[in-house]
Amino acid sequence: MLQSHYSSELLEKAVNEINRLPGIGSKTALRLALHLLRQDEERVEALAESLVEMRKGVHYCKVCYNICDEEKCEICSNPTRDSSLVCVVENVQDVMAIENTMQYRGLYHVLGGVISPMDGIGPSDLQIESLVERVKKGGVEEVILALSPTMEGDTTNYFIYRKLEETGVKVTVIARGIAQNDELQYTDEVTLGRALAGRIPFGK
């Protein structure tokens, strides 16, 4: 473990700031700081500015709570997308992952997390109420739950399902089964059990 034998206070301050980032230890922080010291001043300024401008300029879409630069995100503003379909995801990365499949033409609703009493995250910390309001406004025919298949994801799925029951909207959940190229013998029991229970007619 490196102790605080920094020969420069400016270097030490920068290292400490970088060290605050998640998953960046003190040695990596020092390595990154020394790398930046070797770069042109303009490059360091470009990095610094991009961070501040992002933090100041980024909005959350008022419809789906995805990250965007305007009031409404590109997906919600796109008239060719199917606005009767709303896919509920945990975060921005999940939107990107689904967009990358090129298989989905509906809209999203970004919860901002999942219900997790252990981490002190309750339903009111998430965009669940806004989802219910959105469905009540009309136009939504199907809500697709696409949360991670964890205990927290399942809890959140069930909570949303109960909240949406009164609206009468169709609620579906993405298929759970064995992943492409996985070997059956190494698949865990829960996944295999669900894959069996969720079997569909062949050729469909």
C-alpha 63/C-alpha 61 separation (Å) is 5
Tell me the window of 57-65, 145-153, 161-169, 183-191 that interacts with a second copy (CB under 8 A).
57-65
Please name the residues in contact with 145: beta carbons below 8 A apart, sequence gap of 6 or more: 88, 157, 160, 161, 171, 172, 173, 174
Does residue 55 bind a second copy (CB under 8 A)? yes
Does residue 182 bind a second copy (CB under 8 A)? no
- Residue number with CB closer to a second copy (70 or 166): 70
Nearest distance, CB of residue 44 and a second copy, angstroms: 4
- Scanning 8-105, the segments in alpha helix (DSSP H) are 9-19, 26-37, 41-57, 74-77, 92-101
> What single-letter DSSP state applies at residue 193?
H
Does residue 13 bind a second copy (CB under 8 A)? yes
The token duo for 24 is: 């960046």
Does residue 80 bind a second copy (CB under 8 A)? no
Give the residues lining the site for a second copy (CB under 8 A): 2-3, 5-11, 13-14, 16-18, 20-24, 28, 30-37, 39, 41, 43-58, 61, 66-69, 73-75, 91-93, 95-97, 99-100
